[in-house]
A and B are shown apart, each in its own frame.
Chain A
Amino acid sequence: MQKILFIDPEKCSGCRICESVCSLHHEKVCNPGRARIHIVKWETAGLYVPMVCQQCETPLCETVCPMHAIKRDDKTDAMLIDYDLCVGCKLCVMFCPFGGVNLDSRTGKVAKCDLCGGEPLCVKFCDPQSLQYLNATAINLRKRRAAAEKFSDLMKKLLAIA
């Protein structure tokens, strides 16, 4: 069953541990700018949104890549960059609507989330569980249940006063 890196911004506390561990794991240094995930913040509103490659079903990065260097991984369904083929034209960076592909200024290479081969580290470290790695069907069910619970609370209140 396909798993998806699911983001729930409401739970994000803005601690940036995900950026730190992503870069530490992939690049062996701590540098949020070289992480494949980034927390976009609206400080005053207290809104923190993790942004990362969405591993699209019809990936624009794959479509525009002239070298066909971005390919689906069999195990995780993640879109992976084949660095033997990549020439660094950066079309993928330009075309991704989510900013999902980084240009690493240190290496000159592009980089993106590869789901850490099926055990995404950002998810492991995310205590508030703003980032989760879930089966595709589970996500929709969770959201439905969360919304239904609001109805349930309301029903309880109505019944209490009826």
Chain B
Amino acid sequence: MSLLQDQISHFVAPSGPAQNPWFSEQQLMRTMVWKRRIAYIDLTTGKIVTNSIPKRVRQLYLGGRGIDMYLLYNHVKPKVDPLSPENILFVGTGLLCGIPALGSGRCDIAAKSPLIGAVGDSNIGGFFGPELRLAGFDHLVISGKAEKPAYLWISDGSIEIRDADHLWGKDTFETQEMIRDDNKDEEVKCLAIGVAGENLVRFANVRSGMKNSAGRTGMGCVMGSKNLKAIAVRGTMDIEFSHPDELLDYCKEMNDMIMSTRWARAQSKWGTLIIYSNTNTTGLIRTRNFQLNRHEEGEDLEPENIDRYTIGMSGCYGCAVHCRHRYVLREGPHAPIFAEGPEYTSLGAFGTMVDCKKMETVLVANHLVNKYGLDTLETGGLIAWAMELYEKGIINEKDTAGLKLEWGNEEAIFDLITQIAHREGFGNLLADGFKNAIAKIGKGSDYYAIQVKGLSNLHSDERPTPSFALGIATSTRGADHLRSRPAIDLYGLPEDLLEEIYGAPVSSDYTSYQGKSRMVWWQELLYAVTDAIGVCKFQTVFCAVHAPNWEEFRRLIQLATGMGFLKAQLMEVGERICTIERMFNLREGFSRKDDALPERYFKEPTPIGFSVVRGKTIDRDRFEKMLDEYYALHGWNENGFPKKETLERLGIDREPSLMV
């Protein structure tokens, strides 16, 4: 058999009708996606092996988070200590990385999470992903532990492990600058950890550029545990696509369509901060940890108030929306600060949840967490919790070593951020995350923690919105709004349109439970595929109803790679990713009881706001019913275990299959 025939014979169509209208021999040979490499780097032995990624794996998981989750399940052994060399860090570019549309440069970083002991996974934008792909690599699998601080140097098909002694202790900005200087190349892109990652703060993040972060679940902590300070890459090779001319035209169409909409224009002007204006006015924002559902004195946090600091807007690779503020603080005790951001979650982390009222507080804190390499959301969530404990007398000034954790005390917040990053004082206790901090403090402190599976929730108050509540309870990586948040539930869309999208009746009332489990399930599949192809959620149905989703993804995949997927097949990829993540968590001992909400959601009614959102709790029985429906939609049993027929249908009944 010729090499070509051999390759074609391996191209087995996914389950379902065997149709691949776009595929041809020429397209297979032309598209470089089949030539992309995966690199296995063992930091203990220094051994580096590269391999190709089987086409079968691409058909089943696409790339990015999809392949990362497959690798996670296959390569990380059950019950491994996430801080041990046996944990493995996965870095993966999306399948569509490089296309000039939809913010296509997103990269997925995964491992077993040291914060929650479940799936650890975080997505990062900016420019690292495309540079990695330009260097010829789509996936990195990093195991073991370096004897002393090291960084990976990746360039055009080659990988080296280099000494990083001189980088250890540097913040995330300095680290990147020094690596660029060392290599005398301003175009080098880096993933870097700050001192928080070095100090194994369990929610340390991985940073790139001025503010891009793989924020959640402590992937920076995993890097720190491997003595891996950074991954630097410089690539000058080609990224090939199967239909470059048609792809170019279609990307133009996509960009034009998106930039003609109000929501994209609003984001390109005000960033994600514009969401806050809507949700706080309505009364869907956690304030003082969980005591209130609206920040009554939070007007300075509205995006118009950042204008006096803004010097421009930045965009990630391949994104026409450019939703990030570039800001400068020229005056005040913390000046000068040149920074990027803040995002919606930071407004909550250092604004509403801790009862700070000024935009400037958020701007300073945002810069601090970026410098140290801390997840902004987790940091703010823990501090808000600590403030409520302080108010209730569960902890006092003796416990906090003198820090006055009073609501709105910004200096205490800045100090605590620094303490957490350096594992000093009270910060050392918080640095281990909710589960450990609750165990240490005791005294009923767990009641006040707004977390699921050990991960902090963001500053949204989901008591009035059952769909959002179900989303944070079921997310595989703990309380998280990026796994499934059906944000369009807040738009009161016509019910015939909702039925058309979701395939069954869904109430247009955001306080209703009807059809919401289906909404969450559908969005979950979409976001899994979004993360697998590596585009930005802000240019999908995450933001607006007539935004790119299944049909657009199909067409892009076809034009970029030659692979043909029917919509049902693509949804199946989403199901597969979600189910294999579920399997990982079940293997680690998680079950239905962990798909839960903090008790306060059921017990404390929302105290303020409009009558439509006031007095709301989540109804426990209806929540359990939504959970039943959600499991059923996934093809899982009533305990959340995938049924045999589901595993067979998705082709994952023989895991680990070690295809790559």
Contacts and interface: CB of A to CB of B under 8 A. Distances in A.
Interface stretch (B85-93, B306-314, B377-385, B581-589): B306-314
B248 A24 contact: yes
B236 A33 contact: yes
Contacts of B130: 30
Given A31-B236, A44-B173, A17 B210 contact: no
B313 A13 contact: yes
B127 A29 contact: no
Contact of A14 (B32, B98, B315): B315
A15 B239 contact: no
A45 B338 contact: yes
B100 A20 contact: yes
Contacts of A43: 209-210
A15 B238 contact: no
22 contacts: A13-B312, A13-B314, A13-B315, A15-B318, A17-B318, A17-B319, A20-B100, A21-B100, A24-B244, A24-B248, A28-B240, A29-B239, A29-B241, A30-B100, A30-B130, A31-B239, A33-B134, A43-B210, A48-B314, A105-B236, A106-B238, A128-B322
Given A15-B320, A46-B312, 16 more contacts: A13-B314, A15-B322, A17-B100, A17-B255, A17-B320, A20-B98, A24-B247, A30-B100, A30-B240, A31-B134, A31-B239, A34-B238, A45-B338, A46-B311, A46-B314, A106-B238
Given A30-B99, A31-B237, A127-B259, A44 B248 contact: no
Interface string B248-276: 10011001000100000000100000000
Interface string A1-32: 00000000010011111001100110111111
Contacts of A15: 315-320, 322
In this complex, the interface size class of chain A, counting residues with CB under 8 Å from chain B, is 20 to 34
A159 to B, nearest CB: 23
Interface string A93-110: 000000000000110000
Contact of B320 (A45, A48, A127): A127
Interface of B: 32, 98-101, 127, 130, 134, 173, 186, 209-210, 236-241, 244-245, 247-248, 251-252, 255, 259, 268, 311-320, 322, 326, 338, 340
Given A10-B312, A16-B127, A127-B259, A21 B248 contact: yes
A92 to B, nearest CB: 21
A46 B259 contact: no
A15 B102 CA distance: 11
B238 A125 contact: no
A124 interface: yes
A13 B267 CA distance: 13
Nearest to B317: A16
B340 A46 contact: yes
Contacts of A29: 32, 238-241, 244
Interface in A29-66: 29-34, 41, 43-46, 48
8 tightest Cβ-Cβ pairs between the two chains A and B: A46-B326, A13-B322, A15-B315, A29-B238, A13-B315, A20-B100, A30-B239, A127-B320
A56 to B, nearest CB: 25
Nearest to A106: B238
A16 B318 contact: yes
Contacts of B241: 24, 29-30
Given A29-B239, A30-B100, A125-B255, A20 B318 contact: yes
Nearest to B259: A127
A125 B100 contact: yes
Nearest to B318: A17
Nearest to A17: B100
Contacts of B326: 46
Contacts of A124: 252
Interface string A110-146: 0000000000010011011000000000000000000
A1 to B, nearest CB: 26
Nearest to A128: B322
A115 B186 CA distance: 27
A20 B320 CA distance: 13
B17 to A, nearest CB: 32
A18 B134 CA distance: 16
A33 B236 CA distance: 6
A45 B340 CA distance: 10
